[in-house]
Amino acid sequence: MSKKSMKSKAREEPKNIGKAEYHAELHSLHIELVKLQKHFINCNDKILVLIEGRDAAGKDGVIKRIVKHLSPRETRVVALGKPSDRDQGSWYFQRFVPYLPAEQEFVLFNRSWYNRAGVERVMNFCTDEEYEAFMQTVLEFEHMLVRSGIKLFKYYLDISRSEQKSRLEDRRQDPLKQWKISPIDAKAVGNWKNYSEARNQMFARTHNPVTPWTVVRANDKRLARLNLIKDLLTRLHFDNKDESVLLVNPDIIFQYQESYLQNGMIAP
C-alpha cells in the first residue's frame, strides 16, 4: 500500500454501530469483565487503569460501562478534584498513592497524575520547573508500581475539535449534564492547539515499552467504549476467556506511534 493510500485510510472515520448491536456486544463484554474480576480476586492481582483525554472525550462514559456489573468492594473509580494547599506542598505523586490498588482490587483513574502534562501545563497551574520534574520522574514512578506487581494500563481517548465543540455545547444545553460543566470547559476549544502540543509532548516523553500509551479514537462513543474494554480484556489473563467477543478494531484502538500524529490517526 502506498504512503498516499495509507494516509487516506488513516483519516477515515470508522463506521457507526447500531444501538441493538452495541448493547449486545456490551452485554457479552460485561460477562467477560465479571470473569476477569473473579480471576483477579482469586489470584490477588492488582489492576490499575488510567483514562486520559481532552474535556468531553468520553472518560466518564467508558468508566461507567466498565464498572457497571463489577463488585463495588473490589472496584474503585478515582476522580480527584483540585489539589489542596497541602497537596501543593507535597511530593506530586503523594496524593495519588493512597488510591493505588491493593491485592484483589481493580482501580480506574478518571484523569490521573498526567493532569500535570495536560491541564496544568496548558492552564499554567504548574511552573515550568514542576512540569519538567514531573516529566523526568513519571516513568520511574510507574515502573516502580509495575515492579511492585501492579498491572498498569494507560488509555488516551482522542476526539476531533469539532466533536469536542459539539459535546461541550450539548453539555451546556442538557440539564442532566450540568454537573460536568467547569470553568476550564469554556477555554478547552480555544486552547485546542496548546492541548495538542501538550499531548504530543506527553506521548513523546512517556510512551515506553513498560507502560505504553494506548490511543482510542473516540468520536463515536459506542465504538470507543467497546474497543477499549476489548483491548483491556485481551491484555489480561483470566479463565474461560471468550476470544470470539474480543476482536478489536485497529483503526479505533492502537498503541501510540509518532507517525500517527502526521497521518490523521490522532487528531491534530
Q: What domains, with CATH codes, occur in the chain?
A: 3-261 (3.40.50.300)
Nearest 5°: phi and psi at 255?
A: -75, 145
Give whole-number Cα distances, 235 to 70, 212, 243, in Å: 18, 12, 11
- Cell triple for 57: 472525550
Nearest 5°: phi and psi at 156?
A: -120, 120
Q: Strands 213-217 and 150-158, how do they pair? A: parallel
pLDDT attached to residue 13: 63
pLDDT attached to residue 186: 72
- For the stretch 175-199, pLDDT in tens is 888 877 777 777 888 999 999 999 9
Using the predicted structure, report yes or no on whether residue 53 has a pLDDT greater than 50.
yes
- Percent of the chain surpassing pLDDT 90: 87
Using the predicted structure, report yes or no on whether residue 11 has a pLDDT greater than 70.
no
Q: Which of 240, 243, 246 is nearest to 37 (CA)?
A: 240
Higher pLDDT, 13 or 227: 227
Query: What average pLDDT score do residues 153-175 get?
Result: 94
Q: From CA 19, how far away is CA 133, in angstroms rounded? A: 46
Q: What average pLDDT does the structure give for the chain?
A: 93
What's the pTM value of the predicted model, to 2 decimals? 0.93
> Where do we find the cell 472496584?
75
Q: Are 225 and 165 in contact (CB under 8 A)?
A: no
Q: Are 238 and 35 in contact (CB under 8 A)?
A: yes
Helices (H), the chain: 3-10, 19-42, 59-67, 85-88, 119-122, 128-147, 161-173, 185-188, 192-206, 221-235
Query: What average pLDDT score do residues 13-30 get?
Result: 91
Close Cβ partners of 208 (under 8 Å, ≥ 6 residues apart): 139
pLDDT attached to residue 220: 97
Query: What average pLDDT score do residues 224-252 get?
Result: 98
> Where do we find the cell 476526539?
159
> Where do we find the cell 501492579?
150
> Where do we find the cell 498503541?
255
